[in-house]
Amino acid sequence: MKCKDFEPGFPNEIVTEGIARVLVPKLKEFVKSPSEYAPSKAPVFYNPVMELNRDLSVLAMQAYQKSLGRGITICDPLTAGGIRGIRYALEVKGVKKVLIGDINEKAFQLAKHNVNLNGLDKRITVRNKDANLLLSRNAAPRKRFDAIDIDPFGSPVPYLDSAIRALRNGGLLALTATDMAPLCGVHPKACIRKYGGKPLRTEYCHELAIRLLAGCLATTAAKRDIGIDMVFSHRLEHYIRAYASISYGARAGDQSVGQLGYLLHCFKCFHREPATERFNISQRLTCSECGSKLSVAGPLWLGKMFDKHFVEMMEQEAKQRVLRNSERIHKILSLIKEETEAPMTYYVVDKICDKSRLPVPSAKRVIENLRNGGYSASRTHFTTTGIRSNATAREMCRTVKQTASDN
């Protein structure tokens, strides 16, 4: 479908997402082979798979606005066609102003058109600026935002310092990272270079990825005498997402730095434990359960990744809306709520069974047996066969094996 008053100069169509109608590149026109990643081939980046990401973002922003009880301002400095900022303006009650921008001239023109298409000219300002420049120009005390959303193609790290400086005290920062190969240990040197922490290719590497991102954010914020508080996070599809509120003051910064540490993991018996003391990661560390060498991830965030009240507020918002992904959203939030007070990291049932050459029992039955044995146990949104529990690795393996044998 072509828009009568605007010609972007490339194949396009109008799509509806939430209650927004936007003009986007017709992705199938830019793919020459099945292996090509269509969004990156289009002249303006648009990924329909990220609709669920944007749905959850709307819920999170609404929960944040309600927690403040006043009107808020939002900045989306990597806006592409403007869909995220437009949805914030349309779907989050209490949003006064939204500033969106993109360095790409075609994206800027398309975003302006989409803002006009949705009748938001007076509430959304569009700028053709580099993201860091846009944020830095709003770092003065009276210009700062209540919330900033950094949703890049790759790592959000290059924008962290600018975003932190452009947030008000108590502001909310939302971050997306799609560079999962470094964060999950495929390219450890790249992760150390970008995030300042060593990753590990464990079965719970996606949780480590969020903790590495949060650790990098805490370190960056602390340099400005600012602390962070993680309120929500998730891993879906090909990315991770983290939401953190910030607090001004050296004491808040010190408290955040105090939640940084390391995760020690045994690849032989699945044992894992946090460590706050500094040490040489090349030194030999012995597993307390089997005596094998422990591998080290970090420094990374050891604190909470979710705030239960915040997740419950998102759940309430989700119940009041009809979205294409409503059923999946309810399931995700329900699982995350289970995780809010559960221990760090999770065990993966099929990983344990693969090592023991056993059939894979249902995670539900394993959880029941763990609880019957006096342990806490809950599911995780990271994987359908993942279990969070305070059971030791030895006890977890024993329970999984017993459950598999009973099937």
Instruction: Give the pLDDT confidence score for residue 407 in this predicted structure.
Output: 66
- Cα–Cα distance between 182 and 194 in angstroms, integer? 9
Evaluate whether 348 touches 383 at the Cβ level (below 8 Å): yes
Asked if 228 and 260 touch (Cβ cutoff 8 Å), the reply is no
Structure tokens at 216: 């990098």
Tens of pLDDT along 171-205?
999 999 999 999 999 999 999 999 999 999 999 99
Domains 48-301 and 308-406 share a fold: no
Using only the alpha carbons of the chain, give its radius of gyration: 22
**What is the rounded distance in angstroms from the CA atom of residue 178 to the CA atom of residue 156?**
9
Rounded to whole angstroms, the Cα distance separating 138 from 110 reads: 23
pLDDT digits (tens, 9 = 90+) for 222-241: 999 999 999 999 999 999 99
Counting residues of the chain whose pLDDT is more than 90, the rounded percentage is 89
Structure tokens at 147: 């919330």
Q: Give exposure, 173-183, as e/b (b: 16+ Cβ within 10 Å).
A: bbbbbbbbebb
Report CA-CA distances (Å) from 313 to 59, 62, 244, 316: 8, 9, 15, 5
Residue 56, pLDDT > 60, answer: yes
Class of domain 48-301: alpha beta
In 18-94, at which residue ranges do the beta strands (DSSP E only) sit?
20-25, 72-76
Domain ranges of the chain: 12-41, 48-301, 308-406
Strands 347-348 and 386-389: antiparallel
Look at the domain 308-406 and name its fold: Phenylalanyl-tRNA Synthetase; Chain B, domain 1 (3.30.56)
Please give the mean pLDDT across all residues of the chain.
95
pLDDT-derived band at 281 (thresholds 50, 70, 90) equals low
